């Protein structure tokens, strides 16, 4: 079956929309005051402090989760406007199943509501959605909403929103190792062909760039089993602000801090500096 070619009017509209988005990105980056080269491709966030925020407000923990979901919309939209390629959000870890069943049930319902409510925003902002994490034991209702949102946004070409739902990094690495072992036993892969690049293709984040910046809120100084392989060279930024209060302005502070970092990836600032190679520097009066 031959599909009809897009009309000139549709093509013109698409070009106009693309130009409008590009203009919005340029204006947003000008307001941020950060050079294009200093914008991270992938921002990963550990959204912490929903419960603490709720307690401080004299509210139940569920109120904190609801407020946190509202904060997600603002950060997702800002990432899309800034032209960031990937935003990955640590939404629910494999360890979170240990929480009270009522809280877990509320969270699952909240995720389903979020996906339904935010689809129009994702489409408007050219956002592609995907889940990273295990599908089991998520129930059918949440899986249906995940799949529906993924399908509806799969042709979008802007920000990729990766929701880490039922995610654990050690589990991810173990799953990757098991998949590699299966392929090796089946003769599809030789052990000598396994390197870092090949291994990464078996992770949940295959085809996504590694995070450049990892943000954790609520002042906690730990990684909590999140993207342990992928953040090997990420810059870390910890905010004392709880996630429900993590505004776009707070996000800009993190981006500016990242822009001021000197990322060397194991190298040196000046490879020609003799002091960096164990040789004494030449003094001004040396011949």
Q: What angle do CA 111, 115, 119 make, to 5 degrees?
A: 165
Catalytic residue among 13, 96, 126, 147: 96
Dist CA 130 CA 128 (whole Å): 7
Catalytic residue among 13, 30, 36, 48: 48
How is residue 57 written in tokens?
């407000």
How is residue 138 written in tokens?
């998520």
DSSP H helices, 46-168, are 50-56, 61-82, 101-124, 140-153
Written as one string, the DSSP assignment of 113-148 is HHHHHHHHHHHHTT-EEEEES--TT--HHHHHHHHH
48 is catalytic: yes
Neighbours of 223 (CB within 10 A): 16
166 is catalytic: no
The candidate with the shortest Cα–Cα distance to 75, out of 261, 245, 225, is 245
Residues catalogued as catalytic: 48, 96
């Amino acid at each position: 079956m031959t599909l009809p070619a897009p009309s000139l009017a549709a093509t013109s509209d698409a070009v106009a929309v693309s130009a409008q988005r590009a203009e919005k990105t340029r204006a947003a980056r000008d307001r941020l005051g950060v050079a294009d080269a200093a914008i991270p491709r992938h921002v990963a966030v550990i959204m912490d402090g929903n419960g603490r925020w709720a307690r401080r407000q004299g509210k139940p923990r569920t109120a904190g989760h609801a407020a946190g979901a509202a904060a997600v919309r603002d950060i997702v939209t800002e990432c899309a406007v800034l032209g960031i390629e990937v935003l990955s959000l640590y939404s629910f870890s494999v360890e979170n199943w240990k929480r009270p069943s009522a809280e877990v049930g509320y969270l699952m319902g909240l995720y389903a509501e979020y996906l339904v409510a935010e689809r129009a925003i994702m489409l408007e902002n050219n956002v592609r959605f995907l889940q990273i994490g295990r599908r089991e034991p998520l129930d059918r209702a949440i899986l249906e909403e995940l799949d529906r949102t993924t399908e509806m946004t799969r042709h979008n070409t802007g920000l990729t929103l990766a929701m880490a739902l039922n995610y654990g990094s050690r589990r991810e690495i173990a799953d990757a190792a098991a998949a590699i072992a299966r392929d090796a036993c089946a003769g599809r892969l030789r052990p000598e062909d396994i390197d870092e690049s090949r291994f990464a293709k078996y992770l949940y984040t295959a085809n996504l760039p590694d995070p450049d910046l990892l943000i954790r809120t609520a002042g906690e100084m730990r990684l909590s089993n999140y993207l342990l392989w992928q953040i090997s060279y990420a810059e870390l930024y910890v905010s004392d602000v709880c996630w429900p209060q993590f505004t776009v302005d707070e996000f800009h502070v993190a981006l500016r801090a990242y822009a001021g970092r000197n990322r060397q990836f194991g190298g040196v600032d000046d490879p020609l500096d003799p002091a960096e190679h164990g040789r004494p520097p030449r003094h001004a009066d040396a011949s």
